[in-house]
Chain A
Amino acid sequence: MSFDPDTIAAFVDGELDDLTARRIEREAESDAALAAEIARYRALTAKLSAHFAPVVDEAVPERLRALLVEGGIDISMADRRNAKHRLFAPVHWGAIAASLVFGLTIGLRPWVPAADIASVNGTLVASGALADALDTQLASDQLANAEIRIGLSFRDRQGRVCRSFEARDVSGIGCRDSGRWALERAIGGRANPEYRQASSGELLAAAAVMMAGDPFDFAAERAARDKGWRN
Chain B
Amino acid sequence: MRFEEELVELLPRLRRFARGLARDASDADDLCQAAIERALKSRDQWQQGTRLDSWMYRITRNLWIDERRAAGRRGVHAPIDDAVTQVAGDGAAEVEAGALRGDVDAAMARLPDEQREVVMLVLVEGYAYREAADILELPIGTVTSRLARGRETLMHYLGEAA
Contact = CB atoms under 8 A, between A and B. Distances in A.
Contact of B40 (A15, A41, A67): A67
A58 B11 CA distance: 11
Provide the main secondary structure of the chain B interface: helix
Contact of B151 (A9, A58, A70, A77): A9
B37 A44 contact: no
Nearest to A57: B12
Contacts of B7: 68
Contacts of A45: 123
B142 to A, nearest CB: 13
A60 B129 contact: no
B151 to A, nearest CB: 6
A41 B4 CA distance: 37
B11 A6 contact: no
Given A64-B32, A88-B30, A93-B26, A58 B12 contact: yes
Interface in A27-64: 40-41, 43-45, 47-49, 51-53, 55-58, 60-61, 63-64
Contacts of A64: 11, 15, 29, 32-33, 36
Interface stretch (B66-74, B80-88, B153-161): B153-161
Contact of B119 (A10, A48, A90): A48
Contacts of A196: none
B138 interface: no
A64 B7 CA distance: 10
Given A64-B29, A88-B26, A47 B104 contact: yes
Contacts of A84: 30, 33
Interface in A83-117: 84, 88, 90, 93
A15 B7 CA distance: 28
B19 A52 contact: yes
Interface residues of B, number: 37
B54 interface: no
**Mostly helix, strand, loop or mixed at chain A's interface?**
helix
Interface string B29-63: 11011001100100000000000000000000000
A67 B38 CA distance: 11
B148 interface: yes
Contact of B11 (A65, A70, A77): A65
Nearest to B104: A51
B124 interface: yes
Q: State which size class the interface on A falls in.
A: 35 or more
A75 interface: no
- Residue from A56, A65, A84 having most chain B Cβ neighbours under 10 A: A56
B106 to A, nearest CB: 11
Contact of A40 (B4, B123, B129, B155): B155
A69 interface: yes
B100 interface: no
Given A15-B128, A68-B4, A68-B40, 6 more contacts: A13-B128, A15-B129, A44-B151, A45-B123, A55-B12, A60-B12
30 contacts: A6-B148, A9-B147, A10-B129, A10-B144, A13-B123, A15-B128, A40-B155, A43-B162, A44-B154, A44-B155, A44-B162, A45-B123, A47-B161, A48-B124, A49-B123, A49-B124, A55-B12, A56-B15, A57-B12, A58-B15, A64-B11, A64-B15, A64-B36, A67-B36, A68-B5, A68-B8, A68-B36, A84-B30, A88-B26, A90-B26
Interface of B: 4-5, 7-8, 11-13, 15-16, 19-20, 26, 29-30, 32-33, 36-37, 40, 104-105, 119-120, 122-124, 128-129, 144, 147-148, 151, 154-155, 158, 161-162
Instruction: State the 10 A-B residue pairs at the shortest beta-carbon distance, nearest first.
Output: A55-B16, A51-B104, A56-B12, A68-B4, A44-B162, A88-B26, A60-B11, A67-B36, A52-B124, A48-B123
